[in-house]
Amino acid sequence: MTFEEYFTEKMDEYRSFAIQNGTTKKYEFLRSSLAATVDYGDLENFDIIENDNYTNQWQPAAVSFNEEFNQLVVIDNIFGEGDLNELGSLTKTEINSSFKRAHKFIIKCVNEPLISFAETNSDLYHVSARIKDEWSSFKNVKILILSNKKISKRIDELKQNNPIGNKELAVGIWDLKRFYEVESSESEREEIIIDFSEKPLEALRASSTDEMDSYLVMMPGEKLAEIYGHWKSRILEQNVRSYLQNRSNVNKGILLTLAQMPSRFFAYNNGITTTGETIEFDSTNRHITKIHNLQIVNGGQTTASIYRASREKIDLSEVNVQMKLTVISKDKINDLVPNIAKFANSQNPVNAADLFSNHPFHQKIENFSRKLIPPTQENKVGLGKWFYERSRGQYLNEQNDKTPSQRKEFQRDNPKIKLITKTDLGLILNSWDEKPYVVSKGAQANFKVFASTLKTAEEWEKNNAQFNEEYFINLIVKTIVMRSLRKEIPKQDWYEGFPANIVTYSIAFFAYSMRLSKVCLNYNSIWRSQEAPLEIIAILLMIAEEINTHILSTPGNPTTYAKSKRCWDEYLSKVEYMQLDEAAGLFANLSETKTIMDDAIEEEKQVNLIENEIDLLLIEAHSWDEIFKYISKNNQMSPNKSSIIKKLQKGEIPESFQLQMIMDDVKGYEKLGGLIDRKK
């Protein structure tokens, strides 16, 4: 897909969402862009200042608070109407105006009484209050400009000589071309290039195969701190937004060693495990000058602790960190990185569930989304499937090789309005799981909590049948209801802002009431109609009004209050749950629904068994030699197993019960990193 086609599709998308949500294209561009920058790791969270029709010339579009780096990000939105040629480029004049607008806003927050420029209880008021209250704690300020224009080629730097007090000030731009390049790169992140040309890293090649090259490298502590400070959490494995602060004994120990015995750090610390896509060497071919897409897959705490030490002015000149670097081609990353992270010997290994998009849970959800076709809706063209984007950019990349007419057909069958991302999924499921205080902490914080609930690989093998077609249908129904509520909230007379908090708390209380009433949604009915019943939305709006009052009732910032479990507990303590029943057909009996789910689980177990058996039949004959050695080495070989393997090598098909006898052995071999070739 060309950039011109991407631009046209995006503008159509903003128009469609604006009509559906009763907003504007400018607002939908802002919402979509902020969500993408969070997924890419450029922001940890964001608070939109709701009214995008503001007349104040200094009011920004949104703000973001990065507590780990003590950073304030003020976001401005430059949105132009018209086609690509009419828009023109994003000019230096526009960028300077945007910078001055954000700069003026910050000055007002710090120096002026809030009541002089913001209405009490408005989004603007509470955001400004937080900036004023926390100003002394911010180490630096970033002004981030978002635009649907393409930045002018004449602009080669973004430096601004207008500091705010003693705060470091940076400027960043995400224009639509930058979003396009990242999204179409088949990567979940923008390319990261680390330059070591001033002081190349000596590298010892440890091993080399057709798939990857591994090196032992000595990374200076000062350089590692600089890298982490610049790229922040984006330098961590793309699906792990870890760390962390220094709360654990391990982190305190790292900081103590850095402060008191820096020369012993190398001896005391296990180092870091990293991957890269390509590396460049100097003329000796022994010193690394550049690493493309460096990612830390193990050792996040070590890295962040070294960064924190640098911020505390601890001398790192004597600190060196052992770095194991594995260079993997882009097409092999998804296959090999999970195993590297899993087997890496680190003091705080990454949980398998943290390797998020590769977890089998997400692969299953993706598979269901591709094959399950919702019931036909009146006046709708196409299949109307729900598209689960397991990794960022899938929706776009699946259209790359299609003709314009094929792309239109794809978009009819998979409408963008039915796209669900990983972060969407976490927000939806944690809301219905009665964790609104977690959801209120923002997409990345919620993302981590959601990831931690997933089963480890061993647990998954024993109990994954609960994730079946019925589960997927229920997930989509929850999505339909939650998105329908989100659309209606801003239309209410009582609404004053904070839509994300109101929606998640309302859904959570609704789920809480259903649980105590021993009912659940009538999933089949909503799945058939693909619409949330008006009666359910009316119930949710009643809840939402009370939630709104509750969140605003506590002195201070409502969004801060909503992030605390205290907010949820206090609401439950003063409000009786809603008695809900099956009479109107809106809800189903919980026990009957459980029976349906139990049947679906049993059916899924049979499907999984058949798929596992087929998987064994696809193993190439030569791979069975290594599997045979593995089983024999572990004293698990028996005459029966030996006979079964010989049959499979000959291309014969053993009985189902025979295949089950060696299934665990084959899985055990693969879990330990054993390579298996399968027929295509």
Query: pLDDT digit string (tens) for 303-353?
Result: 888 988 888 888 999 899 999 999 987 767 666 666 666 665 444 444 433
Considering the domain architecture, whether residues 663 and 577 belong to the same structural domain is answered as no
Rounded (to 5) percent helix, strand, coil in the chain: 55, 15, 30
Our count of domains for the chain comes to 4
Looking at residue 355, its pLDDT comes to 47
The residue type of 404 is P
Looking at residue 186, its pLDDT comes to 60
Looking at residue 161, its pLDDT comes to 65
Looking at residue 243, its pLDDT comes to 35
- The dihedral over CA atoms of 606, 610, 613, 614, expressed in degrees to the nearest 10, equals -160
Looking at residue 608, its pLDDT comes to 80
Q: Is residue 603 part of a domain?
A: no
Looking at residue 666, its pLDDT comes to 87
Element of type H or E holding 170:
strand 168-175
Considering the domain architecture, whether residues 510 and 403 belong to the same structural domain is answered as yes
CB burial class (10 A; 0-12, 13-18, 19+) of residue 136?
A: exposed
Within the chain, which residues score under 50 in pLDDT?
52-53, 238-250, 345-355
The residue type of 49 is I
Distance CA 203, CA 226 (A): 20
Considering the domain architecture, whether residues 270 and 162 belong to the same structural domain is answered as no
Considering the domain architecture, whether residues 137 and 205 belong to the same structural domain is answered as no
Considering the domain architecture, whether residues 404 and 450 belong to the same structural domain is answered as yes
Considering the domain architecture, whether residues 266 and 290 belong to the same structural domain is answered as yes
Final residue of a structural domain among 183, 213, 235: 183
Distance CA 504, CA 568 (A): 11
Q: Which long-range contacts (CB under 8 A, 24 or more apart) does 472-477 make?
A: 472/365, 472/368, 472/369, 472/372, 473/372, 473/523, 473/524, 473/527, 474/521, 474/523, 475/365, 475/425, 475/428, 475/429, 476/374, 476/386, 476/527, 477/521, 477/523, 477/526, 477/527
Q: What is the DSSP string of 559-612?
A: HHHHTSHHHHHHHHHHSPPPP--STTSSEEEHHHHHHHHHHHHHHHHHHHHHHH
Final residue of a structural domain among 591, 607, 642: 591
Q: Is residue 598 part of a domain?
A: no
Looking at residue 68, its pLDDT comes to 72
Final residue of a structural domain among 317, 348, 379: 348
Considering the domain architecture, whether residues 365 and 426 belong to the same structural domain is answered as yes
Domain enclosing residue 651, as ranges: 618-671
Considering the domain architecture, whether residues 160 and 285 belong to the same structural domain is answered as no
pTM of the model: 0.73
3-state secondary structure 423-491: HHHHHHHHHHCCCHHHHCCCHHHHHHHHHHCCCCHHHHHHCCCCCCHHHHHHHHHHHHHHHHHHHHHHH
